[in-house]
Structure 1
Amino acid sequence: MSDFGPRSLYAPAGILTRAEAQEIALRALRNSPAEETRVSINSTARADTRFALNQVTTSGENQDTQVTITAYAGNRAASVNTNRLDEASLAAAAKQAYEIAKLVPPNPERMPELGAQRYPATRERSITLPTPTERAAASKIVTELARANELIATGFIECRAGASALANSKGLFAYDSSSSVTMTTTVRSPDGTGSGWACTDGNTFSDLDPARVAATAVQKAKDSRSPVAIEPGRYTTILEPTAVGNLVQLIAGAMQARSADEGRSFFSKQGGGNKIGLKVVDERVTLVTDPADSPSTSGGYDGDGIPLEKVTWIENGVVKNLNYDRFWAQKQGVPPTRAGGGGGGGGGGGGARSLRLLGGTTSLADMVKNTERGILVTRFWYIRGVDPRTILYTGLTRDGTFLIENGKVTRPIKNFRFNESPIFFLNNLEAMGPTIRINASENLSAGGAVYMPPIKVRDFTFSSLSDAV
């Protein structure tokens, strides 16, 4: 088919339908004086509830539609944003974009706009937002259990729904819609020494499991009280799925073909070229992005309107693909990678932004049982880059870090600062558990769907102690 089929009938009020988005795009295009014009539309609805001190503190909803008109004058380009959708406002924005474009420096790497593309059929999926009452009820499950255990709960429920569209003066039109819902909570002891965290993530509110979140965070808060200090160093370490996601996502962010080909990344091969075809991690590691994992109804499209496809980045430890944008792909004589990384953005599924690390069959309990001495990590925080050539990062453990002795979790320990690369620890892999959908915190997932397993690794580097809880 030449474009997306009808989208879900269950969209919240205010989210543009395909027909509405196309009509706005056509009006913007016909009012543009530029040689080439691109129109990006993001129509979003958001609902959130925050709770703290065991009670709901804020609840809000908002909706917006943003139109970005990009005008081209040769290799010069400029964009103007507006949320006014009347004819005169769209025409003024298009004219302003063109006038600015004529003044900016030319871009020698500018690629021409694409023509019409073929997109997959829309998957039927409910695109809804929960009511304030529903969000408050979910919050209450956490706060009541925390109060019953004389603990203090804080958390956030964030719900997004939206649609995005991309059109240009060469006949391209893409449309997609999506929804995603996340609930996270941090539960702490009144003395401030114990802290537990948990999350639940899904495409719709019914996917969430607040009872599991409450039970997990409360238990971790109780178990992590009065931590003891142990010496930093290299330890056998069990990373829960969120901790895995915190760091493994950094590999995907480093897989740009251009930086590899130019000798600026871990994926650069010594002597020139890149590491496609080379083994870089344990053979049990397979890392993919798949539109089927995306919160969107049609799998998404990239920033130029190319429909996304499943891409295997690493398979059985071997680099299979790197991310080629259109310019670099043309320069290197290869097809561009259809994996997102741009797209319409917002809440509309313009880029899949999904990531899946295929897992194994070892349960987290069995990992602990088979560990003589090691560390159990709930998640990481304040993650910052150290060396892009090795994908080395530093950060802190947080919200439940525990010592394992003789196959049992024996005591809570003070948090560590780590200095580690996901490439390093995926070469020291001992066991993997089943993959689950997570929220990887620090917004690394960019609102998309992330699927990670728990893993057990050797010689994870903890460089110093941290008094932070």
Structure 2
Amino acid sequence: MSGTPVPAGDTELDVAGRVVDLVARLAGPAAQAEVTVTRAESALTRFANSAIHQNVAASSVDVRLRVHLAGRTAAGSGNAVTTDGLRTLVERVLAAARFTPPDPAWPGLAPAAPVAPSPGWDPATAHAGPDQRAALVRAFVDAAGGLVTAGYCRTGYRVAAFANSAGHFAQGQAADAAMDGIARADGADGTARQHVDRVADLDGTDLGRRAAAKARAAAQPVELSPGRYPVVLEPPAVADLLSNLAWYGFNGRRYAERQSFAVPGTAQFDRAVTLVDDPLAASGLPFDLEGTPSRALTLVDAGTTSAVVHDRRSAAELGVASTGHAWAGSATFGPIPRNLRLAPAGTAGAADPTGVFVAGGHGVGGPAVDGAIGDPDTAALVSRMERGLLVSDLWYTRVLDPLSLVVTGLTRNGLWLVEDGRVTRAVRDLRFTESYPRALAPGAVLELGRRAVRLPDRADGAWWAAPSLRLASWNFTGGASG
């Protein structure tokens, strides 16, 4: 949009403050306003058939405004930070507020409060160029040893500022990098992925070697009858558990609507399970979309559910305080923990910042399956399983019953039979139907790995940190076709 530019040198915080002032001038002091201004740059290098086929970069500014006026609430967003563009946004949101239904559950604005500084960010990651990403892709492809490969490498950063008419201001910044790749051998796939704060910590060679080893180990799979089997879930599979627990279990809106399994104060999980959401651990901003300061929040403490997450609206409904989990989708989906980690065995739960595994070389089943186990941590869990399945990844998971969190889905990118603590053969993918809380219930968790690996989510700033996990039982209900 054309128009008078904002003063040169204005920061995101300056822009947010100008919007709050503009709402007051146009609607009067009774109007309540909150504004988040986010500037983001992201770059993505995609490869397929072992060659880069797309290199894209995007730069954006997003101004999100929510106002409460005369008992009604409206929100809108725009990307024009000129004087005219900001005025148009404010006028549009104020006009919408006149036609929206009354909002008796309006929770009010976040009061002024101190906000922690952003975790240290790496300028080299924020401004990484296509040559750096291309070098990582080349390392991945070369390490795959001639197998067909595909995937992506991405880098980027976000700078955000918040202001509201209650006098609360906050600002922060975050940068991250991720790589996710696949290798294929004789129709079998192997994958490896990594999420880091510093692009220098991405290891394309290790990721490519690991993906290729898994692909080779997954060749010529055998059929296995459905049923309940003990399992070792590798970190990518555990990440799916964390994602669904976050969306459907620890979601404050679902909890308020009695659509969540969570019962705070109850030992719903095995004592080995401690779940912590920590936006400031890595790649997170120090405040949420409503300006509430971010902090580490323990959701499950040694098996006992201790909390669910809230934005201001779900918190007000239950008479508690917001935990700082408002995000762009919380008005529709509810507040969710987006930086959830399962604390590994014998630690305070810190995630490995590199997530680097050593592929193969564990002597677990001969050349055909040497690459099935991606790291010594997983190998240790496998060695103590008499008979069961090693699961690399879960995908296409869908919730059948939100209240008990029964999920159905498929194994993916490698499934192997374990006998007497050794991986013996690849198995064709299976469908499963399992209650995630029940799979993690008291007595069901036999062992956790000693290192949590941070894995990228599809959403900016979201990640899951998970160790490998040995469970007493997992319910496989059919083949991949049904």
Q: Could you tell me which residue of structure 1 aligns to residue 261 of structure 2?
A: 266
| 1:63-462 equivalences in 2 (<5 Å) | 63-127=59-123, 128-146=126-144, 148=145, 150-189=146-185, 191-192=186-187, 194-253=188-247, 254-257=249-252, 259-260=254-255, 262-267=257-262, 275-296=263-284, 299-338=285-324, 340-342=325-327, 353-360=338-345, 363-427=377-441, 428-439=444-455, 443=458, 447-462=461-476
Q: 1:40 aligns with which of 36, 44, 54?
A: 36
Q: 1:415 and 1:137, CA in 2 relative to 1: closer, same or farther beyond 3 A? A: same
The CA distance in 2 between the partners of 1:89 and 1:446, in whole Å, is 26
Q: 3-state SS of the aligned residue for 2:19?
A: helix
Q: 1:391 corresponds to which letter in structure 2? A: L
The CA distance in 1 between the partners of 2:9 and 2:110, in whole Å, is 20
Whether the 8 Å CA contact 1:294–1:352 is kept in 2: the answer is no
Q: 3-state SS of the aligned residue for 2:40?
A: strand
The CA distance in 1 between the partners of 2:10 and 2:277, in whole Å, is 29
* Structure 1 position 331, deviation (Å): 4.4
The CA distance in 2 between the partners of 1:26 and 1:50, in whole Å, is 38
**CA displacement, residues 37-72 of structure 1 (integer Å, 9 cap, x when unaligned):** 222211110111001111111111110111122233
The CA distance in 2 between the partners of 1:465 and 1:412, in whole Å, is 14
Report the TM-score when normalising by structure 2: 0.84
Q: 1:202 and 1:117, CA in 2 relative to 1: closer, same or farther beyond 3 A? A: same
Q: 1:437 corresponds to which letter in structure 2? A: V
Whether the 8 Å CA contact 1:381–1:396 is kept in 2: the answer is yes
The CA distance in 2 between the partners of 1:26 and 1:435, in whole Å, is 43
Q: 2:291 corresponds to which letter in structure 1? A: G
Whether the 8 Å CA contact 1:294–1:448 is kept in 2: the answer is no
* Structure 1 position 351, deviation (Å): 9.5
Q: Could you tell me which residue of structure 2 aligns to residue 25 of structure 1?
A: 16
The CA distance in 1 between the partners of 2:118 and 2:385, in whole Å, is 47
Q: Which runs of 5+ in 2 are unaligned?
A: 1-7, 347-375
* Structure 1 position 363, deviation (Å): 2.8
Q: Which runs of 5+ in 1 are unaligned?
A: 1-16, 268-274
Report the TM-score when normalising by structure 1: 0.86
Q: 1:136 and 1:325, CA in 2 relative to 1: closer, same or farther beyond 3 A? A: closer
> Aligned residues: percent identity?
28
* Structure 1 position 281, deviation (Å): 1.0
Q: 3-state SS of the aligned residue for 2:267?
A: coil
The CA distance in 2 between the partners of 1:351 and 1:301, in whole Å, is 14
* Structure 1 position 336, deviation (Å): 2.8
The CA distance in 2 between the partners of 1:122 and 1:378, in whole Å, is 34
Q: 1:63 and 1:328, CA in 2 relative to 1: closer, same or farther beyond 3 A? A: closer
* Structure 1 position 320, deviation (Å): 1.1
Whether the 8 Å CA contact 1:302–1:343 is kept in 2: the answer is no
Whether the 8 Å CA contact 1:242–1:440 is kept in 2: the answer is no
Question: How many pairs are equivalent?
Answer: 432
Q: 3-state SS of the aligned residue for 2:155?
A: strand
* Structure 1 position 323, deviation (Å): 2.4
The CA distance in 1 between the partners of 2:318 and 2:426, in whole Å, is 52
Q: 3-state SS of the aligned residue for 2:58?
A: strand
